[in-house]
């Protein structure tokens, strides 16, 4: 797990958000680094009450649609993600693994290796001993024609137009969608 912890520190030290007024991304980056500095197990769910998690917002190849999950425990629409596992070598690996497992789409790819957003959120008692997630968010791309499958962690998995997000979505989903679409465009422009 030291390798994943070291990767998380490296990623967060290197990452620079396109800080916009009021988003607090730089403040969150510093808080995540402080957490990791004080907790060698800060990427593990056993680090309670707070720990890093990794997630990915899935877009179609055009960036016009986003794939969201209706989270079983939380009852909200959001991106795919969750806890880092012992086999994860990098935060990006954890985000991609979670998105593949929870969407049922094995051929997902990340739109770059850098996060697109950070989020810190409190959790309800439905999440057991986890009280707070420090989420490092990535963008992922589904191949054309990909058909999602509902996993045991979701009530539903649905494609939505990027500009018609469902009621009951996580509060900052529109910002995440915007940042993920920008990452997809940048990835396409590079290559």
Do the Cβ atoms of 127 and 50 come closer than 8 Å?
Answer: no
Residue 168 has pLDDT above 90, yes or no: no
What is the structure's pLDDT at 68? 98
What is the Cα–Cα distance from 180 to 110, expressed in whole angstroms? Answer: 10
- Mean of pLDDT values over 16-30: 80
- Mean of pLDDT values over 168-187: 93
CATH fold, domain 2-190, is: Nucleoside Triphosphate Pyrophosphohydrolase (3.90.79)
Task: Indicate the DSSP class of residue 41.
Answer: T
Q: What are 121's two structure tokens?
A: 């959120």
Identify the weakest region by mean pLDDT among 25-29, 74-78, 132-136, 142-146. 74-78
Residue 190 has pLDDT above 90, yes or no: no
Burial class of residue 132 in the structure, from the number of CB atoms within 10 Å of its CB (0-12 exposed, 13-18 middle, 19+ buried): middle
Question: Residue ranges per domain, the chain?
Answer: 2-190
The b-or-e profile of 94-126 (16+ CB within 10 A means b, else e) is: bbbbbbbebbebeebebbeebbbbbbeeebeee
> What is the residue-averaged pLDDT of the chain?
91
pLDDT digits (tens, 9 = 90+) for 80-120: 999 999 899 999 999 999 999 999 999 999 999 899 999 99
Name the pTM for this structure. Answer: 0.94
């Amino acid at each position: 797990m030291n390798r994943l912890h070291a990767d998380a520190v490296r990623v967060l030290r290197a990452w620079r958000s396109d800080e916009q007024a009021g988003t607090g991304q730089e403040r969150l980056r510093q808080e995540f680094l402080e957490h990791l500095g004080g907790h060698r197990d800060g990427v593990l769910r056993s680090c309670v009450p707070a720990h890093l998690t990794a997630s990915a917002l899935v877009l179609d190849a055009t960036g016009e649609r986003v794939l969201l999950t209706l989270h079983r425990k939380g009852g909200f629409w959001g991106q795919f993600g969750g806890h880092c596992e012992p086999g994860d070598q990098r935060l990006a690996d954890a985000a991609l693994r979670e998105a593949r497992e929870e969407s049922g789409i094995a051929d997902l790819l990340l739109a770059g290796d850098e996060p697109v957003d950070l989020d810190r959120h409190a959790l309800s008692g439905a999440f057991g001993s986890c009280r707070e997630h420090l989420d490092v968010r990535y963008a992922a791309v589904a191949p054309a024609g990909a058909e999602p499958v509902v996993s045991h962690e979701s009530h539903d998995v649905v494609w939505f137009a990027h500009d018609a997000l469902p009621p009951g979505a996580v509060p900052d989903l529109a910002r995440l969608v915007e940042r993920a679409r920008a990452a997809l465009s940048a990835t396409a422009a590079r290559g």
